[in-house]
Structure 1
Amino acid sequence: MSTRKTLDAQASGLMVLFCLCLGMQQVALKATGGDIAPVLQIALRSGAGALLVGLVMWWQRERLSFADGNWRPGLLVGLLFAAEYFFLGEALRFTSASHAVIFLYTSPIFSALILHFRVSAERMGAVQWSGILLAFAGIALAFLAQESGDEDVVSDVLLGDVLALLGGLCWGITTVVIRSSSLSEISPRQTLLYQLVAGFVLLLIGAAVSNQLAFNPTPLALASLGFQSVIVSFGAFMIWFWLLRHYVASQVGVLSFMTPLFGVALGGWLLDEPITPGFLFGSLLVIAGLLLVSGQGWFRQRFLARRPAVDEA
């Protein structure tokens, strides 16, 4: 029997903190890009995060499980994780943090589409399909709503937006692999460890190949690296896994829409990034679409829970 609780004030507060941390990561990477390349910073934070996760597993005597060939999908999600963050790191060289967070968090759209055609139990209904169309309309509008000006600058922004969208695609595929493989049966900490170790090794190689190993250890750069390593790669995901273990997953997941909202707001506030009306409207369409796709089960559950009381009245 499931002992998971319904959403309460504690879970909602932790989700706000979780989404705030994830929304802040793009801003921190962008703000310190002149001192340490985003790809290198993500590589280093992944290594530090892997060390911290490994220490927690050792402390709790949690052994790595390689039964049933778990290492194969583990290697695949590690490659996808590295690709996702390589695309994000490169995107932040060309586009704004607010743009990057919106396009990166389109991942549920891609995972829902892939699962619809791969898993019969994951078939989407009319509401979810309307969410897909709404989100893609928002993506198109956000792409088209570029400020007029220097053609090279506009081209760079578009390139960055496409790279962030590719990061979202990799994240969506990662979700599909985890849900449809033996990784769904093992500890989520082990899955995270696969991703962080692969991210550290492959992104460090990517930074070396692309000549992005320079590091100017300014106080801001060191603070960002510490935040990324301890808070994002370790603390935030530990909060996420704790929430999934103790609360109904669909109710927790539907609140993740706050992350792109925080990302856009923090980018505009802390980095003075221009947010055009067209991009803002497109972003809201994307977020609304994500809510329809990811939150359908939660909305249906809430509706059915109230329905008997309405009928009796």
Structure 2
Amino acid sequence: MDSASFFTRRKVVFLVASLCCLLWGSAYPAIKNGYALFNIAAGDIATKLVFAGWRFLFAGMVLLAIAAIGKKTLRLDLRTMGQVSLLGLTQTSLQYVFFYTGLAYATGVKSSIMNATGTFFSVLLAHWIYQNDRLSFNKALGCIVGFAGVMVVNFSAGLLTFDFTLLGEGSIVMAAFVLSAASIYGKRVSQHVDSVVLTGYQLAIGGVALLLTGFAAGGTLTGFTVKSTALLAYLVILSSAAFSLWTILLKYNRVSMVTVFNFMIPVFGTVLSALFLDEKILEWKNVAALGLVCLGIWLVTKEEKPALAAA
């Protein structure tokens, strides 16, 4: 790959990945506002799963409709459908069981920063799975610095207590790990399935699983108004656009080259949560955490050109 093609490719990855991260960052205040608009109590996990289920089922249906209009084949063989189903049950269902639970017990600002751990998990997992995606000194240092940022955001203002709960912050970290592992598996599946079709099926299957789980646990979604319905529609569009674009990026690029941009999610999530949820952003620990996370981005992406060009 020549120098011009290399830098053009990086610019495209940067722009598309940034858009995805902006959309995902906006999900933090959107979901928390959704809890309020649909009158979902903090401890009502079942209804949260129903809320998530409708979001992903509709998002999947939108993508499958787009694929059908584009005359892309929706028929998959039994083995491939099994792989896509597994992806949907992990990347969508399992991840969002943890994510929606954690978001109910942690602030949007803190959750967005904690979710950055997914980038480190992706870089570490890719090292063991892909021979052309090994852990370098810069990547290792970036992971350490980024994890330090995640630790900082969990300290109290006086540095005397460590504010971390399994149900809140712990669930967010688990969601990040599940997404990282599932994304690597999804990269493999995407090599022989159209990205839009793959994303559509996995979102729809994951959404159905969330709905069934939520309904079985006694959940029900009420309180539909123009405002709450518009917010749900935004979440549907957000999911269909971000997940399909991200799947395409992973299909044609190295895992570490793409997933490192997940570090931008806490930046967008923190700012948008501060704007729309009136949460504090200028606490020293939030500023320090964001600074360390951004430094982690720079370190992990600071690779020599030949290594990236070999993607």
Q: TM-score, normalised by structure 2?
A: 0.80
Q: Distance in 2 between matches of 1:9 and 1:122?
A: 20
1:30 offset after TM fit, Å? Answer: 0.4
In structure 1, what is the equivalent of residue 208 of structure 2? 201
Q: Distance in 2 between matches of 1:302 and 1:233?
A: 34
Q: Distance in 2 between matches of 1:113 and 1:253?
A: 11
Q: Distance in 1 between matches of 2:111 and 2:245?
A: 23
1:248 offset after TM fit, Å? Answer: 9.9
- Which stretch of structure 1 is more off in the superposition, 260-269 or 212-221? 212-221
1:267 offset after TM fit, Å? Answer: 0.6
What amino acid sits opposite 1:203 in the alignment? L
Give matches, 1:227-246, under 5 Å: 227-230=234-237, 232-240=238-246
1:303 offset after TM fit, Å? Answer: 11
- Which stretch of structure 1 is more off in the superposition, 116-125 or 264-273? 116-125
In structure 2, what is the equivalent of residue 282 of structure 1? 289
| 2:107 is the counterpart of 1:96 | yes
Do 1:7 and 1:252's aligned partners in 2 also have CA atoms closer than 8 Å?
no
In structure 2, what is the equivalent of residue 63 of structure 1? 73
In structure 1, what is the equivalent of residue 43 of structure 2? none
| 2:79 is the counterpart of 1:79 | no
1:41 offset after TM fit, Å? Answer: 2.5
In structure 1, what is the equivalent of residue 34 of structure 2? 32
The residue matched to 2:220 in structure 1 has which SS? coil
In structure 1, what is the equivalent of residue 270 of structure 2? 264
Gaps of 5+ in 1: 306-313
1:289 offset after TM fit, Å? Answer: 2.1
Do 1:6 and 1:247's aligned partners in 2 also have CA atoms closer than 8 Å?
no
What amino acid sits opposite 1:300 in the alignment? E
In structure 2, what is the equivalent of residue 176 of structure 1? 184
The residue matched to 2:173 in structure 1 has which SS? helix
In structure 2, what is the equivalent of residue 300 of structure 1? 304
- Which stretch of structure 1 is more off in the superposition, 83-92 or 284-293? 284-293
In structure 2, what is the equivalent of residue 20 of structure 1? 22
What amino acid sits opposite 2:202 in the alignment? Q
Number of residue pairs the alignment of both structures matches = 296
Q: TM-score, normalised by structure 1?
A: 0.79
1:201 offset after TM fit, Å? Answer: 1.1
Do 2:146 and 2:295's aligned partners in 1 also have CA atoms closer than 8 Å?
yes
Provide the aligned C-alpha RMSD in A.
Answer: 3.6
In structure 1, what is the equivalent of residue 55 of structure 2? 45
Q: Distance in 1 between matches of 2:79 and 2:11?
A: 40
Do 2:119 and 2:259's aligned partners in 1 also have CA atoms closer than 8 Å?
no
The residue matched to 2:153 in structure 1 has which SS? helix
Q: Distance in 1 between matches of 2:263 and 2:287?
A: 15
Q: Distance in 1 between matches of 2:7 and 2:247?
A: 14
Do 2:58 and 2:204's aligned partners in 1 also have CA atoms closer than 8 Å?
no
Percent same amino acid at aligned positions? 22
**1:90–1:245 Cα change, 3 Å:** closer
What amino acid sits opposite 1:163 in the alignment? S
